[in-house]
């Protein structure tokens, strides 16, 4: 027992000596640095399934529905008529516009061809004749005046002779003067003389009315001749009229074509909201068309905080609430550049193009998109 006590004392003494003056324990060597563990994160967004191509179609003219040859579920090719309006009035407008164009073009073509030789010769002759008549009226021919003066002198001589014969049988004092042949001869001679006098005077001193009439005839003839040879201004005006008529025809044709609603691409009719006989306003969506053979996914709640870490071409994984066992891969095809306010958050629509299709996918199915940062 004493040996045990002594041993304990020795141990306590040794510990005390070490605390008071023993050398320090050496520092252990540093352990080598291990590589940092790489932490991965993903952006997860709510989404919906949509066709890669769809359109809500409406008429570009107002009217009354005349035909609806398709029904919901019908598969149609590009250019197929989906609906048509009553186009009778538009057809009449097109016929009138085409007639106006034909008339304007014919006039332009005639001006470009110029007059025929026969028309030109006839117009020139008309001007020549009108000019001659006008000149003769202002300055009558001397020979013609001489002939007219001779006729006037003859008529005057005949009048004197008739007067002498009438006076020889008593003239107006004869109680039977009205029955005398000499009186009738005197009257005829008087009329011939007045006619010759009027003709002579009209040549020597024409009236203002005669001068104006001759001048008007001359101007008309010259105008008709000028119209046969169009000026550059005439051609420009005719060409402008033809162009305006063509534009009116094209507009009428375009309006008529808009009376039919046609498929802009091949797809499936998913909605029809019109009936025969109903009026339709411009721009109102009446048929919805979609290409259901190719579906894609659009996000609905991708915020501005997450969008900055995503770029086009990033890989994505898509799961679907209605098909839990289905997981499809794809890539970010596009990111909408404009953010929209949704319940206080600015969200951006992101489109994921799927690597493969699944026939169970339907328009507006909900989905989740997972994109690795």
Q: For residues 359 and 336, is the Cβ–Cβ distance under 8 A?
A: no
pLDDT digits (tens, 9 = 90+) for 302-357: 999 999 989 999 999 999 999 999 999 999 999 999 999 988 899 999 999 999 99
**Mean pLDDT on 19-30:** 49
On the question of pLDDT at 206 being above 90, the answer is no
pLDDT digits (tens, 9 = 90+) for 263-307: 999 999 999 999 999 999 999 999 999 999 999 999 999 999 999
Q: For residues 75 and 292, is the Cβ–Cβ distance under 8 A?
A: no
Sheet holding 287-290, edge to edge: 54-57, 287-290, 267-272, 75-76
On the question of pLDDT at 28 being above 70, the answer is no
What confidence score (pLDDT) does residue 27 get?
55
- Region of poorest pLDDT, from 3-17, 88-102, 180-194, 199-213: 3-17
Phi and psi, residue 168, nearest 5°? -65, -25
Distance, CA of 261 to CA of 257 (rounded, Å): 9
Residues 6+ apart with CB under 8 A from 215: 134
On the question of pLDDT at 113 being above 60, the answer is yes
**Mean pLDDT on 360-371:** 96
pLDDT digits (tens, 9 = 90+) for 32-83: 554 443 445 789 999 999 999 999 999 999 999 999 999 999 999 999 999 9
Confidence label for 138 from pLDDT (cuts 50, 70 and 90): confident
pTM for the whole thing?
0.57
Ramachandran quadrant class, 243 (left: phi over 0; alpha: psi -120 to 50; beta: rest): alpha
Confidence label for 7 from pLDDT (cuts 50, 70 and 90): very low
Give the closest residue to 331 by CA, choosing from 316, 320, 319, 318: 316
| Distances 267 to 53, 75, 153, 253, 322 between C-alpha atoms, Å | 9, 6, 105, 27, 24
- The b-or-e profile of 177-192 (16+ CB within 10 A means b, else e) is eeebebbebbeebeeb
| Distances 65 to 165, 262, 274, 327 between C-alpha atoms, Å | 99, 14, 8, 45
What confidence score (pLDDT) does residue 273 get?
95
pLDDT digits (tens, 9 = 90+) for 145-168: 888 889 989 999 999 999 999 888
Confidence label for 137 from pLDDT (cuts 50, 70 and 90): confident
What confidence score (pLDDT) does residue 26 get?
54
Q: For residues 238 and 107, is the Cβ–Cβ distance under 8 A?
A: yes
**Mean pLDDT on 186-207:** 87
What confidence score (pLDDT) does residue 329 get?
96
Angle, helices 181-204/142-168, rounded to nearest 10 degrees: 160
Confidence label for 30 from pLDDT (cuts 50, 70 and 90): low
Q: Which 3 state secondary structure label does DSSP give 156? A: helix
Confidence label for 372 from pLDDT (cuts 50, 70 and 90): confident
What confidence score (pLDDT) does residue 364 get?
94
Domains and CATH numbers, the chain: 44-86+265-372 (2.40.30.170), 115-229 (no CATH)
What confidence score (pLDDT) does residue 29 get?
56
- Region of poorest pLDDT, from 205-209, 348-352, 361-365: 205-209
- What CA dihedral angle connects 306, 311, 316 and 321, to 10 degrees? 50
Cβ atoms < 10 Å from Cβ of 210: 12
On the question of pLDDT at 115 being above 80, the answer is yes
| Distances 220 to 132, 211, 339, 361, 363 between C-alpha atoms, Å | 14, 14, 75, 83, 78
CA dihedral for 219, 222, 228, 233, sign (positive or negative)? negative
Give the percent of the chain with pLDDT over 90: 62
Residues 6+ apart with CB under 8 A from 129: 221
* Residue carrying the six token digits 């009236």: 207
Query: CA geometry: angle at 35 spanning 33 and 38, to 5°?
Result: 150
Q: For residues 29 and 226, is the Cβ–Cβ distance under 8 A?
A: no
Distance, CA of 318 to CA of 324 (rounded, Å): 11
Q: For residues 297 and 366, is the Cβ–Cβ distance under 8 A?
A: no
Q: For residues 328 and 358, is the Cβ–Cβ distance under 8 A?
A: yes
DSSP 335-367: E-SS-EEETTEEE--EEEEESS--TT--TT-EE
């Amino acid at each position: 027992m004493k040996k045990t006590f002594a041993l304990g004392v020795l141990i306590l003494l040794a510990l005390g000596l070490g605390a008071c003056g023993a050398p320090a324990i050496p520092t252990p060597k540093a352990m080598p640095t291990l590589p940092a563990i790489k932490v991965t994160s993903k952006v997860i967004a709510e989404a919906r399934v949509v066709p890669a191509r769809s359109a809500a179609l409406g008429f570009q003219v107002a009217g009354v529905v005349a035909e609806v040859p398709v029904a919901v579920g019908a598969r149609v090719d590009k250019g197929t008529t989906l609906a048509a309006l009553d186009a009778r009035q538009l057809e009449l407008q097109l016929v009138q516009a085409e007639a106006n164009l034909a008339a304007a073009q014919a006039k332009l073509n005639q001006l470009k061809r110029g007059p025929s030789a026969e028309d030109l010769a006839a117009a020139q002759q008309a001007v020549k004749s009108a000019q001659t008549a006008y000149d003769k009226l202002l300055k009558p021919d001397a020979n013609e005046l001489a002939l007219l003066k001779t006729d006037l002198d003859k008529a005057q001589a005949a009048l004197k002779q008739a007067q002498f014969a009438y006076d020889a049988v008593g003239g107006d004092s004869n109680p039977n003067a009205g029955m005398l042949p000499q009186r009738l001869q005197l009257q005829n001679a008087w009329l011939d003389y007045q006619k010759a006098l009027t003709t002579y005077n009209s040549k020597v001193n024409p009236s203002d009315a005669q001068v104006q009439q001759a001048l008007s005839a001359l101007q008309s003839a010259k105008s008709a001749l000028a119209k046969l040879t169009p000026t550059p201004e005439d051609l420009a005006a005719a060409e402008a009229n033809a162009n305006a008529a063509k534009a009116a025809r094209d507009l009428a044709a375009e309006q008529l074509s808009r009376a039919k609603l046609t498929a802009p691409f091949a797809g499936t009719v998913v909605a029809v909201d019109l009936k025969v006989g109903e009026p339709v306003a411009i721009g109102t969506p009446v048929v919805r068309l979609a290409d259901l053979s190719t579906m894609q996914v659009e996000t609905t709640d991708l915020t501005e905080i997450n969008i900055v870490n995503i770029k086009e071409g990033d890989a994505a994984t898509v799961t679907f609430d209605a098909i839990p066992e289905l997981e499809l891969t794809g890539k970010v095809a596009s990111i909408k550049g404009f953010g929209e306010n949704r319940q206080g958050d600015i969200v951006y629509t992101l489109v994921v193009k799927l690597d493969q299709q699944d026939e169970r996918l339907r328009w507006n199915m909900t989905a989740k998109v997972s994109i690795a940062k």
